[in-house]
Chain A
Amino acid sequence: MNLDQEQPQEQTIEEIVASLGDTVGEARVDNPKMTCTGVDVFYADKQAIFGVDLDIGANEVLSMIGPSGCGKSTLLRCLNRMNDTIPICKVTGQLTLDGEDIYGKQTDPVLLRARVGMVFQKPNPFPKSIYENVAYGPRLHGLSRNKADLDDIVVTSLRKAGIYNEVKDRLDQPGTGLSGGQQQRLCIARTIACSPEVILMDEPCSALDPIATAKIEELIDELRENYSIAIVTHSMQQAARVSQRTAYFHLGKLVEVGDTDTIFTNPRHELTENYITGRFG
């Protein structure tokens, strides 16, 4: 068995990326909430994102799809500077929120993260009560004037996340005692409670059953009225159901981006077509 023979011409990732050509489709929208321009991301010497231009429109759900390891999480984490927690990670290029450079000198990553919330792939509730989990953000940012206010925020957030009825009798019990799907919705409630402007979701349904998934998709649809949302997903159906625009990544390069309908019915790039029809590789 010789793997080299199957790939006779040894290409570096840089060469493959160069051969992919420019991004196909409309990276820009009329009313952008966040923008990326020429974004490169490096993990130490290894480049993970290559010159991405992409907008997230106001009140829009953008889904990010692509094979594993293509840099979806990496780009998502750039959008609220969660990459700052990885010492070897370096971001260049320009990213903006409402026209302000989010990597600029005067930008405070802590404030940024309050405005750009994140739901992680694996549910990660704090080892605190359900109530405290949701109240965490509002407490930090002083969003409530008194206890009644805080109660109100907690209940509203849990309602919006579609989990209130399941937990209303046990708000004082640990959030870690919930099922995986409930935990994920708790984490969404926790994020909503900070009233962010943008919500980033990294495969929020990967650990959930179809019913819980449907609930979260419904929630995303409702949230769109007030927030901008970027969601990473491995499910084509989910991308098609919840998003207005879709971006397809390959090896750290944004290959194609456009209206979800167009991407799924009439992809223009060969790689996109292969991927969404399941002929990848």
Chain B
Amino acid sequence: MTISLLLLLIFILTATGYVIGRARVAKMRNQVDRSERPHSLPRYYGYMVAIYTALPALVVIILWIFFESTVLTGLVSKQLPADTQALPQGQLNLILNDIKNIAVGNMSQSTADPVRTAAADHFSRLLDNSQWARNILAILVALLGMFFGYRSIHKDQRARVFVERAIMIFLIACSSLAILTTVGIVFSVLFESLRFFDKVPFSEFAFGLHWSPQTAIRTDQVGSSGSFGAVPIFAGTLLISAIAMLVAVPFGLMSAIYLAEYASPTARAWIKPLLEILAGIPTVVYGFFAALTMAPLMRNVGEAIGLTVASESALAAGLVMGIMIIPFVSSLSDDVITAVPQAMRDGSLGLGATKSETIKNVVIPAALPGIVGGVLLAVSRAIGETMIVVMAAGLAANLTINPLEAVTTVTVQIVTLLTGDQAFDSPKTLAAFALGLLLFITTLILNIIALRTVRKYREQYE
């Protein structure tokens, strides 16, 4: 019996539990004496029995699947000849993998040696048994649960409260899943980073001014010792993000104000979707626009006025990234500006303020928390953006604040460190995790500061 069949069976049992639980109470509802009537509506007793049926059975199945492979692998490896067992862990794992593959039929038996074939036979027998045991246990637990739930039905039992609580616990479980995943990601990045900091001191990483992650692959190689000072690439990230925000915030905000306050409904109906199309363009398209159109343009203009502009420059990447971000800023700001109550505008206009005075003195301050929120979203978007920078800003880790030079960013470095065939324990690849961690911490601090300012502002004006 496959797992899907088993789940179907459990589902049928659950439905049965619902029907019998409900039916049992439905009869009691007609009691003349009010105190004899059940506490909750019949369907809640149905739900309760259903929960008792399904939940323990599902827990059993999940736990079984979780531990099955470890336990079975352990059993199989005990059966292997002693000399095989004595092999180092890595090789043993390879053999066990072969055995599993043979057992499932991914690998033909004829090419394998007899030891493995025998073990594979053993493994598939165990697997069969395990599945039967799992199915029987799950069904037994479901039946027991159903029986228990059904028996526990009593007129004073608060089935509705029970169901409400079950729903709450379910919702909590769902939200903790998201949180746990995040925590998991953070920890895995953290541990890999710690491995990196074993090899490269933290102070060098955080304060070093030179970034060149090429390390010697063979010990006798010369010339590429690798240095991991992250300052240049963080500076590059900040430079490009700053340029992008310098473009996106004014243009986004101004277009939002136009859309929300001045545009006629027809103009709005046309312009808003057009702006949102900007957000729908894939970043790789922006990337080659930046690399193939913007960057040469910059250079020609620069040459015309006597400046030296690198063929890949922070300016080109930042400008295009800013254009890409305009719709984020404008559409979020437009929403909050539109949400400012008309009464507020009327009050200002009624005192003889012009439209622009009203916007400047009343509407924008009232909408500011929302606008700041939108801008921050845009900032994290800018910091995390990769494609445009890879294509237009270059890979050279120059420490500069001159936007006409090539720079590189954290995300770009992570990409270049991890693409291609890499051993996952060299400082070069581990550096990617350290960069990721630092990036994460940066955005976290940014968000905290932003939330603080917004809250302070709210306290002042609400």
List A residues at the B interface (Cβ < 8 Å): 80, 82, 85, 87, 110-115, 117-118, 120, 122, 124-128, 136-137, 140-141, 174, 176-177, 187, 190-191, 194
B181 at the interface (CB under 8 A from A): no
Pick the residue among B345, B346, B351 that contacts A114 (CB under 8 A): B351
Number of interface residues of B (CB under 8 A): 23
Residue of B nearest to A122 (CB): B343
- Asked whether A82 and B349 contact (CB < 8 A) given A127-B462, A174-B461, the answer is yes
Pick the residue among A110, A174, A177 that contacts B352 (CB under 8 A): A110
A192 to chain B, nearest CB (A): 11
- Asked whether A140 and B460 contact (CB < 8 A) given A110-B352, A126-B347, the answer is no
Bound complex: CA of A50 vs CA of B351, how far in Å? 28
By the criterion CB–CB under 8 Å, are A127 and B461 in contact? yes
Bound complex: CA of A251 vs CA of B197, how far in Å? 81
Offer 18 A-B interface pairs, CB within 8 angstroms, sorted by A: A80-B350, A82-B346, A82-B350, A87-B264, A115-B352, A120-B347, A124-B343, A125-B347, A127-B362, A127-B366, A128-B461, A136-B348, A136-B351, A140-B352, A174-B462, A176-B462, A194-B351, A194-B352
A215 to chain B, nearest CB (A): 21
Contacts of A177 in B (CB 8 A): 462
B204 to chain A, nearest CB (A): 49
Contacts of A136 in B (CB 8 A): 348, 351, 353, 361
Bound complex: CA of A28 vs CA of B343, how far in Å? 33
A78 to chain B, nearest CB (A): 13
Apart from the given pairs A80-B350, A85-B349, A124-B347, 6 other A-B contacts in the complex at a CB distance below 8 Å: A111-B352, A113-B349, A114-B352, A125-B347, A136-B353, A190-B347
- Asked whether A191 and B460 contact (CB < 8 A) given A122-B343, A127-B365, the answer is no
B339 to chain A, nearest CB (A): 13
By the criterion CB–CB under 8 Å, are B365 and A190 in contact? no
Contacts of B460 in A (CB 8 A): 174
Contacts of B350 in A (CB 8 A): 80, 82, 113, 117-118, 120, 191
Contacts of A190 in B (CB 8 A): 347, 351
Contacts of B351 in A (CB 8 A): 113-114, 117, 136-137, 140, 190-191, 194
Residue of B nearest to A112 (CB): B352
B344 at the interface (CB under 8 A from A): yes
Contacts of B342 in A (CB 8 A): 85
Bound complex: CA of A187 vs CA of B350, how far in Å? 11
By the criterion CB–CB under 8 Å, are A85 and B361 in contact? no
Bound complex: CA of A125 vs CA of B365, how far in Å? 13
By the criterion CB–CB under 8 Å, are B346 and A85 in contact? yes
A232 to chain B, nearest CB (A): 14
- B75-104 CB contact bits vs A (8 Å, 1 = yes)? 000000000000000000000000000000
- Asked whether A141 and B462 contact (CB < 8 A) given A120-B346, A126-B347, A127-B365, the answer is no
A191 to chain B, nearest CB (A): 7
Most buried by B among A87, A111, A127, A141: A127
A131 to chain B, nearest CB (A): 13
Residue of B nearest to A114 (CB): B352
A193 to chain B, nearest CB (A): 8
Residue of A nearest to B365 (CB): A127
Most buried by B among A82, A115, A118, A177: A118
B462 to chain A, nearest CB (A): 6
Contacts of A126 in B (CB 8 A): 344, 347-348, 361-362, 365-366
Residue of A nearest to B357 (CB): A140
Contacts of A117 in B (CB 8 A): 350-351
B354 at the interface (CB under 8 A from A): yes
B342 to chain A, nearest CB (A): 8
Pick the residue among A87, A120, A128, A141 that contacts B343 (CB under 8 A): A120
Residue of A nearest to B347 (CB): A124
By the criterion CB–CB under 8 Å, are B346 and A128 in contact? no
- Asked whether A113 and B352 contact (CB < 8 A) given A127-B461, A176-B462, the answer is yes
Residue of A nearest to B340 (CB): A127
Which residues of B361-375 have CB atoms within 8 Å of chain A's CB atoms?
A: 361-362, 365-366
Contacts of B366 in A (CB 8 A): 126-127
- B353-389 CB contact bits vs A (8 Å, 1 = yes)? 1100100011001100000000000000000000000
Bound complex: CA of A173 vs CA of B342, how far in Å? 23
Contacts of A110 in B (CB 8 A): 352-354
Bound complex: CA of A275 vs CA of B349, how far in Å? 34
Contacts of A191 in B (CB 8 A): 350-351
Bound complex: CA of A174 vs CA of B456, how far in Å? 13
Contacts of A124 in B (CB 8 A): 341, 343-344, 346-347
- B263-277 CB contact bits vs A (8 Å, 1 = yes)? 010000000000000
B66 to chain A, nearest CB (A): 54
Contacts of B461 in A (CB 8 A): 127-128, 174, 176
Residue of B nearest to A177 (CB): B462
B369 to chain A, nearest CB (A): 10
Bound complex: CA of A140 vs CA of B350, how far in Å? 12
Contacts of A120 in B (CB 8 A): 343, 346-347, 350
Bound complex: CA of A45 vs CA of B365, how far in Å? 36
By the criterion CB–CB under 8 Å, are A141 and B352 in contact? yes
Bound complex: CA of A194 vs CA of B342, how far in Å? 21
Contacts of A111 in B (CB 8 A): 352
Residue of A nearest to B353 (CB): A140
By the criterion CB–CB under 8 Å, are A137 and B352 in contact? yes
Contacts of A176 in B (CB 8 A): 461-462
Pick the residue among B264, B341, B349, B365 that contacts A128 (CB under 8 A): B365
Residue of B nearest to A127 (CB): B461
A182 to chain B, nearest CB (A): 16
Residue of A nearest to B343 (CB): A124
Bound complex: CA of A184 vs CA of B399, how far in Å? 58
Contacts of B343 in A (CB 8 A): 120, 122, 124
A265 to chain B, nearest CB (A): 35
The 10 closest A-B pairs by CB, nearest first: A114-B352, A127-B461, A124-B343, A118-B350, A113-B352, A124-B347, A137-B351, A127-B366, A110-B354, A140-B353
